[in-house]
């Protein structure tokens, strides 16, 4: 680092703090003599002396008369916080359509009678929730049972991450409130029954298409209820994942 003579001691002090934070000098070690620091960064001795006084006041170094300047504390490295990426509801849906349609396809090849039983139980829960007008746990249980029917822990983990991202996304929550009525949920139940039918038949292509269609139906409902002029609307940025096979 070249620090011009005209620059203030504070800039030199900040540079020295960066040197300490980088681990170049451990606690208890002695800093180079003032003249060496001057030569290293190209400033006058008075500037370096003032910079070292600043570090001493801040508690990073200690001047020991006749011995030198010793490090007694290290500054914390301030990492730049990257802006948090907030995914929109249609980006989440695109990912789900890509992931879950392929999960359904693979699950159809791996599914066991026990898996089918779990799916039927989830749909019974969904029907009861529709009848009572309370709860939406059956929907989650059904999709989870399909992921588990792959008998691949990594795929289950990916599905879980996708679902959790959806549940914790404020934009999704706000938009999802508009489709929580019985009319939409009854339509989703019919989609689920079609997916179950394909899985029972171990028809992988039909299972993939049925899951794709289900999530496409969800997307179209959300599109119809969205404010397309909202700066947060991402529906046109994330098109449906096509099923070509």
The per-residue pLDDT for range 39-89, each reduced to its tens digit, is 888 888 888 888 888 888 888 898 888 888 899 988 875 544 555 566 788
**pLDDT confidence band for 6 (50 / 70 / 90):** very low
Res. 234: pLDDT tops 90: no
| Two tokens, residue 105 | 């396809």
Look over the chain and give the mean of its residue pLDDT values, rounded to a whole number. 85
Q: For position 14, what pLDDT does the model report?
A: 86
Res. 20: pLDDT tops 80: yes
What helix, strand, coil percent values describe the chain, rounded to 5?
65, 5, 35
Res. 244: pLDDT tops 50: yes
**pLDDT confidence band for 226 (50 / 70 / 90):** confident
CATH fold of 89-225 = 1.20.120
Q: What percent of the chain has pLDDT over 70?
A: 90
- CATH 1.10.10.10 given to domain 9-71: yes
Domain ranges of the chain: 9-71, 89-225
- Checking 135-139 for CB contacts under 8 A at 24+ apart, the result is 136/180, 136/185, 139/185, 139/188, 139/192
Instruction: Name 11's bridge partners.
Output: none
**pLDDT confidence band for 167 (50 / 70 / 90):** confident
Full DSSP string of 158-202: HHHHHHHHHHT-HHHHHHHGGG-SHHHHHHHHHHHHHHHHHHHTT
Res. 161: pLDDT tops 50: yes
Helix (H/G/I), strand (E/B), else coil: 63: strand
């Amino acid at each position: 680092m070249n620090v011009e003579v005209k620059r203030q001691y504070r800039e030199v002090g900040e540079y020295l703090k960066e040197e300490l934070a980088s681990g170049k000098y451990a606690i208890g070690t002695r800093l180079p003599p003032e003249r060496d620091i001057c030569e290293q960064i190209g400033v006058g001795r008075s500037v370096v002396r003032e910079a070292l006084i600043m570090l001493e006041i801040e508690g990073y170094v200690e001047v020991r008369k006749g011995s030198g300047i010793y490090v007694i504390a290290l500054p914390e490295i301030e990492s730049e916080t990257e802006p948090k990426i907030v995914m929109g509801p249609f980006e989440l849906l695109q990912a789900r359509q890509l992931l879950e349609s392929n999960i359904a396809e693979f699950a159809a090849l791996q599914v066991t009678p026990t898996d089918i039983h779990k799916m039927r139980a989830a749909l019974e829960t969904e029907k009861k929730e529709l009848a009572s007008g309370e709860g939406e746990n059956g929907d989650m249980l059904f999709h989870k049972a399909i992921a588990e029917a792959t008998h691949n822990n990594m795929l289950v983990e990916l599905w879980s991450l996708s679902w959790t991202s959806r549940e914790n996304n404020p934009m999704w929550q706000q938009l999802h409130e508009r489709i929580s009525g019985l009319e939409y949920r009854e339509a989703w139940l019919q989609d689920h029954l079609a997916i179950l039918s394909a899985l029972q038949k171990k028809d992988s292509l039909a299972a993939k298409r049925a899951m794709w269609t289900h999530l496409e139906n969800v997307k179209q409902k959300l599109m119809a209820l969205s404010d397309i002029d909202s700066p947060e609307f991402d529906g046109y940025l994330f098109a449906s994942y096509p099923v070509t096979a």
